Structure 1
Amino acid sequence: MKKTSNKGKLFFYWGWNRASFSNSDIRFQGNNYDFTLQDVRAKDRPTDFTFDYFHPTKITLPQTNVRVGYFLSDNYTISVGVDHMKYVVESYQNVKINGEINAGTPFDGVYNNDDIQLTHDFLRFEHTDGLNYVNVELKRFDEIGHFIGINHKDFQLNITEGFGAGVLFPRTNSKLFNQKRWDEFHVSGWGISAGAGLNLTFFKYFFVQSDLKYGYIKMPNIRTTENTEDKASQSFTFFQKTIVFGAKFNI
């Protein structure tokens, strides 16, 4: 069977993800407070599967992945994409707090490794529209179907692996103390990642792909209120599972 050449082809895909996150220390800073919450738990927020997944005005409601790329050779691709994850701090968990609050709230005080519960009147904090990792990836692409007896011209099984880096452009939904809720996009930091996956290409131009990706995110400048002097900072690792559908074509 003659091998199909990929060199010079463009590709595009769209799909969905599930993500998990390591615990994170989150520091909040403002004119009248500077405190750190330790080992804060967070989770993703998947949307139940409905036909809204395909509605043009609602396609960002699920946790989505979109990417466009180019085959530099038969085996190497470069691409740019957005991993639209969702990150939600779990409410009512108990964590340790260190620092000081002097903002005219019921939570004012000096804290030294004290316990505090993340009630809604103290903090709501999430990147739900979303934790947007805008990144460039370099990946290797190898056909492996012949190892397991897949030699059909219309079906190719491939393995892909590589790494990426980019910026975090979250829309952070934050409500701290009695301050007005903040919910706007803001460049907040950077991330790096590595991953591997399986790709099934059929009829030369269409494919379905599933990836596992592990990464590190550092966000030193998260907007938390309408006051530009208020901010949060955090870093954590993530593990992402994806299923995407795409096409590749000659240019």
Structure 2
Amino acid sequence: MTLTSSALLRKSLVCAAGLVAAAASYAQTSSVVLAQAQPAATPAPAVAVDKTAAQIDAENSRRWSIYWGWNRSTYSNSTIHFKGSDHDFTLHDVKATDMQTNTGLADIFKYYLNPAEITIPQTNLRVAYQLDGDTAIALNLDHMKYVVVQDQSVAIDGQIKGVTQSGQQVIADNWLNFEHTDGLNIVSLEYEKQKKVDWFGGDRTKVFALVGLGIVIPKTNATMHMVNQTRNDEFHLAGWSVGAGVGMDVDVTKTVFVRTAYKMGYVDLPDVLTSARGDKASHHFTYNELLVAVGYRF
């Protein structure tokens, strides 16, 4: 049979179309088989990302803390002016000390760790708010004690019951007792800057510097025998104080920490109450304080 050119062209196109269709069908079938043969893809494991210092600081910010501790203190000599209806005299260069309880084991449990005896030892209470990773503000109570040393001889001038005073005067128990023993209470607002250091391993330690300004509310125990006034013992807003300090915090756990600090400051007491009838005294001095405390963050 003889084919024309047009018939041969049509037959060639039909054959080519059939071959393309067959190849496509085969390719599709092979893809399905290969897909079924391949194991399912395993999701890529999540990669752990360490927190940055900024993230850690952010987590530690906007947190409160509270601590309770104990202190020792020393004082500069001071000039004390006493004034009342029958006296107006000044004692110069008067020595004073703190009044720390003995630190034997029995005393630690009796005074330092006994809430019922909370005002007997020299103590510190602080409530702080962490503004950011290295800044905090705090309301602070330094409960120190100030005791004029007995049997010291000091210069005196002025008058007592109209009698002029001059020369030296021995501060004895039958003449004057003067102390802020319950206590020299400095209530201050403190601003603190901190810096992390790697002194004990890990991210557990901060050193800090602080400044504070506050009021002083002593409970002054005064017995003025020279003018026949019996012991007066009551709280009274007597003056103000400014101070600064440095120290270190060490984290024991994520919430519990130990704090130690050295503080120094200036105290001005222009309105000390010395008797029930309203007699007054005034003096000013500097102090040095060492403290250790245990705190909790929340």
After TM superposition, list the pairs within 5 Å mapping 1:33-52 onto structure 2: 33-49=87-103, 50-52=108-110
1:96 aligns with 2:155: yes
Given residue 271 of structure 2, which amino acid in structure 1 is its aligned partner? N
Q: SS of the residue aligned with 1:18? A: strand
C-alpha separation between the residues in 2 aligned to 1:73 and 1:188? 35
Q: SS of the residue aligned with 1:51? A: helix
After TM superposition, list the pairs within 5 Å mapping 1:86-165 onto structure 2: 86-102=145-161, 109-112=163-166, 114-145=167-198, 148=199, 150-152=200-202, 156-165=204-213
Residue 151 of structure 1: how far off its partner (Å): 4.2
Higher helix share: 2
Could you say which residue in structure 2 is the equivalent of 1:60? Answer: 119
Could you say which residue in structure 1 is the equivalent of 2:244? Answer: 194
After TM superposition, list the pairs within 5 Å mapping 1:151-190 onto structure 2: 151-152=201-202, 156-177=204-225, 178-190=228-240
CA RMSD of aligned residues (A): 1.3
C-alpha separation between the residues in 2 aligned to 1:194 and 1:67? 15
C-alpha separation between the residues in 1 aligned to 2:249 and 2:235? 33
Q: For structure 1, which segment, 46-55 or 72-81, has the greater mean C-alpha deviation from structure 2 after superposition?
A: 46-55
1:236 aligns with 2:290: no
Summarize deviations over 1:3-53 as a string: whole Å, max 9, x none: 432210101000000000000000000011100000000000101232021
Given residue 187 of structure 1, which amino acid in structure 2 is its aligned partner? L
Could you say which residue in structure 2 is the equivalent of 1:204? Answer: 254
C-alpha separation between the residues in 2 aligned to 1:45 and 1:119? 18
Could you say which residue in structure 2 is the equivalent of 1:29? Answer: 83
Where in structure 1 do 4 or more consecutive aligned residues deviate above 4 Å? none
Query: How many aligned residue pairs are there?
Result: 237
Residue 111 of structure 1: how far off its partner (Å): 2.1
* Structure 1 stretches lacking a partner, 5+ long: 103-107
1:7 to 55, 58, 61: 61
Residue 140 of structure 1: how far off its partner (Å): 0.5
Q: SS of the residue aligned with 1:180? A: strand
Given residue 97 of structure 1, which amino acid in structure 2 is its aligned partner? I
Given residue 143 of structure 1, which amino acid in structure 2 is its aligned partner? K
Q: For structure 1, which segment, 167-176 or 46-55, has the greater mean C-alpha deviation from structure 2 after superposition?
A: 46-55
Summarize deviations over 1:130-161 as a string: whole Å, max 9, x none: 0000111000111111xx4x4425xx111011
1:215 aligns with 2:265: yes
C-alpha separation between the residues in 2 aligned to 1:60 and 1:41? 23
Could you say which residue in structure 1 is the equivalent of 2:24? Answer: none
* Structure 2 stretches lacking a partner, 5+ long: 1-49
Higher relative contact order (CA 8 A, sep 6+): 1
Summarize deviations over 1:43-67 as a string: whole Å, max 9, x none: 0010123202111211221000000
Could you say which residue in structure 1 is the equivalent of 2:3? Answer: none
C-alpha separation between the residues in 2 aligned to 1:44 and 1:162? 23
Residue 220 of structure 1: how far off its partner (Å): 0.3
Identity of aligned residues (%): 39
C-alpha separation between the residues in 2 aligned to 1:10 and 1:141? 15
